[in-house]
Amino acid sequence: MKSEQSTGFLKFILRELKPKGKIITPFNIISALTILVAAVILVFRFKDGLGSVIHGSQDAPWGLWINFNVITGVAFAGGGFVVTFMVYILGLEKYRPIVRATVLYALLSYMFYAGALLLDLGRPWKVINPIIGNSFGISSVLFLVAWHFLLYMGSLFAEFFPTIAEWANLKRLRKVFASMTLAAVIFGIALSTLHQSGLGALFLMAKPKIHPLWYSEFIPILFFISSIFAGLSLVIIMETINQKVFWRNMSFMHKSSHRNIVLGLARVSAVSMFVYFFMTILVFLHGKNLAYLNTSWGYWYMMEILGFVLLPCMMFLYGYRQRQLTAVRIAAIMSVVGIILNRMNVSTIAYQWYAHSIHFPTWMEIVVSVAVIFVQILVFRWIIRRMPVYRESPSWVTGEEQKKSFKQKEERRKKWMVSAG
């Protein structure tokens, strides 16, 4: 009996593993090629050392894999904690249709960017050291970030598991995990707050090396606030693309609320961007950085802050007011560019700004960076096409929930009757 069940499950998995949709598409070809080349590059990376593929310099020890995939990429995964906050904590049901996709995106981001981190570690076989506890560097910011990554992956997984269970028809497990959602969300938000700001805190001790326009003791706070609109902007872009690509996998409710959701997100982004902008100005004044403004670094800084924070902020607001999706989408793209600029400035461009050489990544570094993102997109697509992420949950779930909500209604009615005498 048991074995029959498991062979049935195996068959199910095997069937699901087969690709759905057209195989030969430009996207598939490009991504497959990139991933292939990246795999070859990685062989060399492990055979001959990091320096054989990345532009590893003693002055700028972190390359693209950390500074772009991890430090920048994780900011974009911020949507995960913001959207769950809005839906589960504030009870804004309007955003319910995008919860699963955002959580999935965040989960995959953490999985693959933590992967990128492993590739970049010089001695990845020692990665277990700070985890099993034989050498806890507790005063280290990176230690905190690593642990929070790990725990947060756990809570994202717990948040997403009901979707997997619905797909694989695991009724009992679904129930167990669904009952943990709120705890996972709350824990996840706390962890996100800490590791989003922690990524900024990694640079706190690099004080003498980062240009004063980008360094301040408030980096952690700025990183945290900017991760809010970074995440939301990415959700807006993702929703826009997914509307087209996964049209067939989307529930009717989702399709019809798309516009409202995007506009709502635009408003939240605009507000958080404004707060960020305001804080940046305060930090700027606090640091007495006026003298730097009229230098080429100053222009570069102003471009980032005015062109890619203030401007998209206004555009979000405009788009929200005028109910203009195009404006919102352009604003989202601009704010994504702004976040990339900011994170790369802090970690790479304005890092060791007094050094004369420009630190530029090798092509191999770039290929691997992009390949990591491609893998993430492919897995994302694979899951969306199969699991009820955008789709309605299977009937056994909705049935159960209808029962539950009926019971609730009934209870409320009774309460009301009692209070009414």
Partner 1 sequence: MAINRRGFLKTLGVAGISLTVGKSFGAAREEKNAVEFNGILYDSTLCSGCQSCEYACSDKYELPYPTDAPVPGVVRTTSDKQRVAVNAYNTSKGPQHIRKACNHCNEPACASACLTKAMLKTDEGPVIWREEKCMGCRSCMISCPFDIPKFEFDSPNPKIQKCRMCYEELMKGDVPACVEVCPQEALTFGKRKDLIELARTRIYAEPEKYNHNIYGEHEVGGTGLLYLASVPFEELGLRKDLGTTSYPEYNKTFLYSVPAVLILWPAFLLGLHNSFKERRSNILKGKEDGHEE
Q: Which is nearer to partner 1, 201 or 310 (CB)?
A: 201
Q: Which residues, 6 or more positions from 418, have their beta carbon under 8 angstroms from its beta carbon?
A: none
Helix, strand, coil abundance in the chain, percent, nearest 5: 80, 0, 20
Q: Which is nearer to partner 1, 191 or 327 (CB)?
A: 191
Binder to partner 1 among 129, 256, 260, 322 (CB under 8 A)?
A: 129
Within residues 171-200, the interface with partner 1 by CB under 8 A covers: 178-183, 186-187, 189-190, 193-194, 197-198
DSSP secondary structure, 355-416, as one string? SSS-----HHHHHHHHHHHHHHHHHHHHHHHHSTTSSPPPHHHHHHHHHHHHHHHHHHHHHH
The residue assigned the tokens 């669904």 is 178
* CA atoms of 212 and 176, how far apart (whole Å): 50
Q: Is 132 in the site for partner 1 (CB under 8 A)?
A: no
d(CA 203, CA 242): 35
Residue 11 CB, shortest distance to partner 1, in Å, is 28
Q: Is 375 in the site for partner 1 (CB under 8 A)?
A: no
- Looking at beta carbons only, is 178 or 327 nearer to partner 1? 178
Does the footprint of partner 1 cover residue 286 (CB under 8 A)?
no
Contacting partner 1 within 41-100 (CB under 8 A): 46-52, 54, 56-59, 61-62, 85, 88-91, 93, 96
Which tokens hold the place of 151?
């725990």
Contact partners, residue 180, CB within 8 Å, separation at least 6: 158
Residue 26 vs 208, nearer CB to partner 1: 208
| Binding flag, residue 401, partner 1 (CB under 8 A) | yes
**Which residue in the set 15, 123, 248, 356 belongs to the binding site for partner 1 (CB under 8 A)?**
123
Token couple for 65: 């894999």
Q: Out of 30, 127, 281, 306, point to the residue binding partner 1 (CB under 8 A).
A: 127
Residue among 269 and 348 whose Cβ is closer to partner 1: 348
Query: Does the protein bind partner 1 through residue 404 (CB under 8 A)?
Result: yes
Q: Which of residues 301-360 bind partner 1 (CB under 8 A)?
A: none
Say whether residue 203 binds partner 1 (CB under 8 A). yes
CA–CA separation, 210 vs 204, rounded Å? 9
Q: Name the minimum Å distance from CB 204 to partner 1.
A: 4
- 3-state DSSP of 224-275: HHHHHHHHHHHHHHHHHHHHHHCHHHCCHHHHHHHHHHHHHHHHHHHHHHHH
414 phi and psi, to 5 degrees? -65, -45
Stretch that binds partner 1, among 6-14, 282-290, 369-377, 395-403 (CB under 8 A): 395-403
In the bound complex, what is the minimum distance in angstroms from residue 82's beta carbon to partner 1? 13
In whole angstroms, what is the distance from residue 181 CA to residue 128 CA? Answer: 28
Sign of CA dihedral 395, 400, 404, 406: positive
Closest alpha carbon to 96 in 326, 325, 393 = 393
Our CB check for partner 1 shows the closer of 104 and 336 to be 104
By CB under 8 A, what part of segment 133-162 binds partner 1? 135-144, 146, 162
Among residues 3 and 58, whose Cβ is nearest to partner 1?
A: 58
Q: How many residues bind partner 1 (CB under 8 A)?
A: 76
Which residue in the set 104, 106, 153, 202 belongs to the binding site for partner 1 (CB under 8 A)? 202
Of residues 103, 156, 201, 372, which one binds partner 1 by CB under 8 A? 201
Task: Report CA-CA distances (Å) from 215 to 57, 218, 352.
Answer: 21, 8, 12
Contact between 18 and partner 1 by CB under 8 A: the answer reads no
Task: Answer whether 197's CB lies under 8 Å from 181's CB.
Answer: no
Beta-carbon neighbour count of residue 77 at 10 Å? 25
Q: Indicate the residue among 335 and 365 with the shorter CB distance to partner 1.
A: 365
